[in-house]
Structure 1
Amino acid sequence: MPIRQFWFLRKLLLFAADGVLILILGNYTIYHAFPSIGFREDSVLLPLVLITTWLVLRSHELYNVIERSFDEIFRSMIAAYVSIGCILFAFSFFSVEMDKIRLPMLWMLTCQFIALSLLRLLLWKVEKSLHEARKVLLIAPKEECRKIYHRLRSQPKNLLKLCYISMDVENDDWKSKVAEVDLLVLGANLRHHQKVAIMNYATRHGKQVRIIPNTYEVFCSHAALTQIDDIPVFQPQGFYLRRELRIIKRVMDIALSLAGLICTLPFMLFAVIGIKLDDGGPLFYSQIRVGRGGREFRIYKFRSMRIDAESKSGPMLAQEGDARITKMGNFLRMTRIDELPQIWNVFVGDMSIVGPRPERPFFVEQFTKEHEEYAYRHNVKPGITGFAQIYGKYNTTAFDKLVYDLLYIQQCSFLLDVVLILKTIRVLFTKSATEGVQTGKDFEDMKKYVIGAKSGDVYGDY
């Protein structure tokens, strides 16, 4: 049986190895490296560190190393330990015992970060040596293939190797290629009966399938099972939040925005000085955005573009290598410091900490015409962070961001918001999260992958 199938056992062993390292290093760095402090044997410090670390590493998906590049794993480790440090240092202000050990605790977390990162590097190298890249057959309509093709080709470290593309599932001989691949990726715009036929064929031949969802599949993803007499019936979940959950989110928003305004003050002062030294222009940039119920409000950001950025072009999304962005603006966007003034929008109730990103009325009207489901985003308050902000990028399409937003509304809970807030730290270390919209100039010719391609066919200009 392939080692890839023992995924639960591997995660369990990594979980146990983390626990052993955390306890050993915690015992050494706290109890032995600083003996003058004099800790009690019944101290709750190490159990607290162990549980906190396990939970935060789990929330950052750090028990799955096989399908991620080590760059992504390492960035997640940095974000996780920033979160762990903030949590433990916050606890230290409420504990007499922990109040005197902030320096030893910093030393302990540093040692643990190094040890657990090296452990994951070792496991990642072992996993990569044991497994070859999985061969992929992409099946999607022609207009959708280009985007998926680019994403598959730009992620070679994730052990996915594109081998074939089928753009015409009704007429292509895609079945003859299934035996040569390990994984089938199905586009969102395939017809329902086509997806069912492909799923059945792949399942019978022992192949894995990944489906890019459309909005119908999002509707059904968390549907409740009920019945009409003896007929099984799915009851799709609506895109709205219960009143009690909205109250919980509002209380959390007020508490976190107050703390955020205080804690981020040094970064805001840095942005103020940087903008003034860069071009001497206004500090803030404000725009009208659309919030819950379609209500418009004014959002605030530190200015990252030239003062006359849209005087000639009009409203447009940020592009990759956008010349309108200033030098200081590039840094503010990369570190997300430009977003900090939105904490005030959260405090006054226009926004939430977690939710869909608010868009400008011009783009809301445009996107709603293209996808009527876009209006469901406005059933909740927009947020600073969320599914689309963490898993997407600046150049993620509006439709893909819509899918992320609808999934968040369906799954929303207090615990999910906490996890997404913790994961947001990882975005600060991810350059691709701030890339602009692709201009479409750098796509390779897809012809060599397309099943049944003929001479003269061009696939790179759609």
Structure 2
Amino acid sequence: DYSRLVLIYSAIFSFIFLALWQYICQQWEWKHFPQQTGVLFADGEEAARIKYKLAKTYGLEKTLQATCPGCSNNNWQQLIDANYYVFIGAELPIADKEKVLRYARSTKKQIFFVPTLYELACKNTGFLLVDDIPMQRVSRMLLTAEQRVLKRSLDVIVAGVAIILLSPIMLLTAVLIKLDSKGPAIYSQERVGLYGKKFYVHKFRSMKQYAEANCGPVLAAEGDARITKFGRFMRATRLDELPQLFNVLKGEMSIVGPRPERPFFVEQFIDQKPEYAYRHNVKPGITGLAQIAGKYNTSAYDKLIYDLLYIQDISIKTDLMIMLQTFKVLITKSSTEGVQGK
């Protein structure tokens, strides 16, 4: 027989050592295997962004850029033949994506693509037979009654325990904020929540008082002068998010879910990408898949893809996994980088 404490320690150490083993194996593979080149099917700003990320993350400096295969005088098939990886951007027309996919698969290439709402909708589809016509049932990206009950139960337990354990830290944080700069320790800001309903999110103040009095709503930029000295520390450690535990207890937020955004920016994002509205099919969260997989300065579209992927795979297991991986984000400096200033 083992005590519960032993089982908890076993789970924690297993998670740590498995993550370490995976990292070591990945580094060894990239170091000792011959570097493969890739071809990228994208254009314009999207192509530049993907190429930069590929070079930064995997060292694929030799990744080529190709225009869409539907263009005239295009040697896209030869480019696929000459490379091992095939990358496809989200903005490539569906007809051209099919051409690339069909040829790349026939030549046994490794294919990666940036998904759009169309590809995400085709994920986890159900099969339906209409007489002799095969159909696929597309997910509505809505939670079932069982998912809502289980998720709410987990939220109440985690938020309640966290408030009790972290109350001394929250009290100390509030005192340090008051000593660091003028203004209230906690501020409330209007955000968009479940089904587009507006609510007020609570956060520890990390910016100077009246920071947006002159400039209006602006996303925090890298090296933003509006952020206080202690505010930078809070943002790096996510201490500024702790008051949102009370939003969770009130039922306005969840521990895990898409981050709530201000109405001003929501209107802009929906105007640019109408599928952004699907984020509001679940309660917003303190942390989420976009926060552990991306960074603060990750593009709104990439964060949207992470959020939609999470909505389709919501479960207690997924939420617990994201909660555990959030601790990794807390010690990763690059995860809190602001958006690049113009």
When the two structures are superposed, what TM-score results if normalisation uses the length of structure 1? 0.69
Q: CA deviation at 1:392?
A: 1.6
Structure-1 separation of matches of 2:208 and 2:13: 44
> What is the aligned partner in structure 2 of residue 132 from structure 1?
34
Q: CA deviation at 1:53?
A: 4.3
> What is the aligned partner in structure 2 of residue 228 from structure 1?
130
Does structure 1 conserve the Cα–Cα contact (< 8 Å) formed by 2:51 and 2:63? no
> What is the aligned partner in structure 2 of residue 167 from structure 1?
67
1:56 aligns with 2:44: no
Of 90, 96, 104 in structure 2, the residue corresponding to residue 188 of structure 1 is: 90
The secondary structure found in structure 2 opposite 1:395 is coil
The secondary structure found in structure 2 opposite 1:272 is helix
Does structure 2 conserve the Cα–Cα contact (< 8 Å) formed by 1:292 and 1:382? yes
> What amino acid maps onto 1:200 in structure 2?
R
- Once superposed, what is the RMSD of the aligned Cα atoms? 2.3
Does structure 2 conserve the Cα–Cα contact (< 8 Å) formed by 1:138 and 1:162? no
> What amino acid maps onto 2:321 in structure 1?
V
Structure-2 separation of matches of 1:189 and 1:286: 37
The secondary structure found in structure 1 opposite 2:171 is helix
Gaps in structure 1 of 5+ consecutive residues: 1-41, 66-119, 441-462
Of 317, 322, 332 in structure 2, the residue corresponding to residue 415 of structure 1 is: 317
Distance 1:50 1:399, change over 3 A: same
Structure-1 separation of matches of 2:302 and 2:28: 33
> What is the aligned partner in structure 1 of residue 308 from structure 2?
406
> What is the aligned partner in structure 1 of residue 220 from structure 2?
318
Of 176, 190, 208 in structure 1, the residue corresponding to residue 78 of structure 2 is: 176
> What amino acid maps onto 1:336 in structure 2?
R
Q: CA deviation at 1:46?
A: 9.8
The secondary structure found in structure 1 opposite 2:191 is strand
Does structure 1 conserve the Cα–Cα contact (< 8 Å) formed by 2:191 and 2:199? yes
The secondary structure found in structure 2 opposite 1:132 is coil
> What amino acid maps onto 2:297 in structure 1?
N
Q: CA deviation at 1:136?
A: 2.0
Q: CA deviation at 1:389?
A: 1.4
> What is the aligned partner in structure 1 of residue 102 from structure 2?
200
Q: CA deviation at 1:47?
A: 7.3
> What is the aligned partner in structure 1 of residue 338 from structure 2?
436
Distance 1:344 1:50, change over 3 A: closer
> What amino acid maps onto 1:215 in structure 2?
L
> What is the aligned partner in structure 1 of residue 112 from structure 2?
210
User: How many residue pairs align between the two structures?
Assistant: 340
Does structure 2 conserve the Cα–Cα contact (< 8 Å) formed by 1:152 and 1:162? no
Distance 1:284 1:46, change over 3 A: closer
Identity rate, percent: 44
Q: CA deviation at 1:61?
A: 5.1
Structure-2 separation of matches of 1:366 and 1:246: 29
> What amino acid maps onto 1:56 in structure 2?
F
The secondary structure found in structure 2 opposite 1:289 is strand
Runs of 4 or more, structure 1, over 4 Å off, are 42-47, 60-63
Q: CA deviation at 1:324?
A: 1.4
> What is the aligned partner in structure 2 of residue 145 from structure 1?
47
Which digits, 9 at most, give the CA deviation of each residue in 1:393-432, with x for residues without a partner? 1111111111111111111111111111111111101112
> What amino acid maps onto 1:164 in structure 2?
L
> What is the aligned partner in structure 1 of residue 281 from structure 2?
379
Structure-2 separation of matches of 1:281 and 1:273: 12
> What amino acid maps onto 2:66 in structure 1?
S
Does structure 1 conserve the Cα–Cα contact (< 8 Å) formed by 2:159 and 2:245? yes
Structure-2 separation of matches of 1:57 and 1:228: 48
Structure-2 separation of matches of 1:356 and 1:46: 32
Moved more, 258-267 or 325-334: 258-267
Structure-1 separation of matches of 2:38 and 2:331: 29
> What amino acid maps onto 1:160 in structure 2?
L
Structure-1 separation of matches of 2:84 and 2:258: 35
Distance 1:159 1:47, change over 3 A: farther
The secondary structure found in structure 1 opposite 2:217 is coil
Q: Which has the larger radius of gyration?
A: 1
> What amino acid maps onto 2:269 in structure 1?
F
> What amino acid maps onto 1:197 in structure 2?
K
> What amino acid maps onto 1:409 in structure 2?
I
Q: CA deviation at 1:125?
A: 5.5
> What is the aligned partner in structure 2 of residue 388 from structure 1?
290
Of 200, 217, 234 in structure 2, the residue corresponding to residue 298 of structure 1 is: 200
Structure-1 separation of matches of 2:241 and 2:198: 18
The secondary structure found in structure 2 opposite 1:240 is coil
